[in-house]
Amino acid sequence: MSALVSLVSRLGAWVIGCISATGLFARFFVQLLARSGIALRRPRLVSQQVHFIGNYSLLIITVSGLFVGFVLGLQGYYTLRRYGSEEALGLLVALSLVRELGPVVTALLFAGRAGTSLTAEIGLMKAGEQLAAMEVMAVDPLRRVLVPRLWGGIIAMPILAAVFSMVGIIGGWFVGVQMIGVDAGAFWSQMQSGVDVWNDIANGVIKSVVFGITVTLVALYEGWHARPTPEGVSRATTRTVVVSSLAVLGLDFLLTALMFGN
Amino acid sequence: MSRSKTDFWVGLFVLLGAAALVFLALRAGNLSTFSFAPTYSLTANFNNIGGLKAGAPVKSAGVTVGRVARIDFDNTLFQAVVTLNMDQSRQFPTDSSVSILTSGLLGEQYLGIDPGGEEKDLADGERIQYTQSAVVLENLISQFLYSSADKQGTASSGDDAPAPPAEPAMTPSGQGTGAPASSAPASGAAQTPSETTPPQSK
């Protein structure tokens, strides 16, 4: 009987823990938004973060985009050839990159490349009591440290996603047109007739902005709430990757259903 | 890293993002096909529009002269009402005919306008009288099957499965009144002005 009671109370503790974590996360977001004025007053803080988060992620994003484009070109050609419609290769590559793969794969790589470094940085600052020292000096660490990083991530992510899609399309063009020999005119004209600027490209940009907010916010939250020990920081870093990847995939399904559902 | 150097690299990063977006919009997307030239609108009724979608091009002699703005359903005539946005610089005679065509065997569907011979041009908001519906593959196949079955049926015995009359590919579009009965359009050999009685009825 007591085993049953403890089981039920453990379930209750888990539910309460989930709810309070959601509340903490939402409050954290609101706190950061309320302090966002510093991003306008001292834009150099943000641009430093864009440099750190964006420029240093450019290499991995470009190389991954290129290879995703290569593979899309090869696989798309293999499938489309069965229906005798190789000319639609450009459309297939562009639509899958602009609508789904560009924002999602970029967000996953972004979580691995930039999210982890943000979590580790904040967590180590906390472990080294630098954040506490800032508070002693009457500097709000949320405002001075976290807000520029959040906006840096929000600005960098759509740019990275657009670069990913562009490089991927060029990769698909290289494999499809240059290597396999799909007609270049049909490749581009089918792409242009099928990809809509507002329905496809703008929605892809909206997706990448949402993913940028999600990944950066999760990374900062995990760093801010990490236990100030080496083990705590390493756990927080791992959780950043897991939580933000799952959140990106789940949100992607929701956004796709909302945007392209009709 | 010095401050100005960071600024330079961030600026380059943002420029790269803008270039990527412009590439996507112009090279991959259809932004380059948008024209901000003034347009006028025409409507046309079709019995069947097949897979025509809003935004499809309207072509004459292969040149894009407008776009499909909207597709509605007329609940009294049971026909599709297609609204076209035509370039202001492209004017067509009132007896022009419009048909739904397909680019390639399985490609996108578009509207083709064949200009007629009238002196007067179509004005804003007018309706194009002569229309030709989309060719529906299933109808073509059933037409072919029925006609071949009909031949075999007369050769052998029974008339217990009478083949329905094959539906003509061209049908009058509207039940409107002021259609010209005399001047046949340029490709009007197979087309019926809307005034003549439909072949199915009566």
CA atoms within 13 A on the CB side of B72: 11
Residue B198 in this model has a pLDDT that exceeds 70: no
Residue B199 in this model has a pLDDT that exceeds 60: no
pLDDT of amino acid B193:
46
Residue type (1 letter), B38:
P
Residue A77 in this model has a pLDDT that exceeds 90: yes
Q: Is A82 on the interface with B (CB under 8 A)?
A: no
Q: Is A118 on the interface with B (CB under 8 A)?
A: no
Residue B179 in this model has a pLDDT that exceeds 50: no
- As given in the structure block, the two tokens for residue A245 are 């990847």
Interchain proximity A201–B24, CB inside 8 Å: yes
- As given in the structure block, the two tokens for residue A259 are 């945007």
ipTM beyond 0.85?
Answer: no
Across all residues in chain B, what is the average pLDDT?
Answer: 75
Residue pair A89/A176 in contact (Cβ under 8 Å)? The answer is yes
Who among B9, B13, B25 is closest to A201 (CB)?
Answer: B25
pTM comes to 0.74
Neighbours of A126 (CB within 10 A): 22
pLDDT of amino acid A94:
93
Residue B120 in this model has a pLDDT that exceeds 90: no
pLDDT of amino acid A102:
94
CB burial of residue A174 (10 Å; 0-12, 13-18, 19+): middle
Of chain A, the percentage scoring pLDDT greater than 70 comes to 99
Residue A35 in this model has a pLDDT that exceeds 80: yes
Residue pair A43/A147 in contact (Cβ under 8 Å)? The answer is no
Pairing relationship of beta strands B57-60 and B109-114 according to DSSP bridges: parallel
- Between CA A10 and CA A56 the distance in angstroms is 44
Q: B18 to chain A, minimum CA–CA distance in Å?
A: 7
pLDDT of amino acid A196:
84
- Between CA A41 and CA A136 the distance in angstroms is 23
Who among B9, B14, B28 is closest to A159 (CB)?
Answer: B14
Q: B21 to chain A, minimum CA–CA distance in Å?
A: 6
Q: Is A193 on the interface with B (CB under 8 A)?
A: yes
Is the alpha carbon torsion for A170, A174, A176, A181 positive or negative? positive
Of chain B, the percentage scoring pLDDT greater than 70 comes to 71
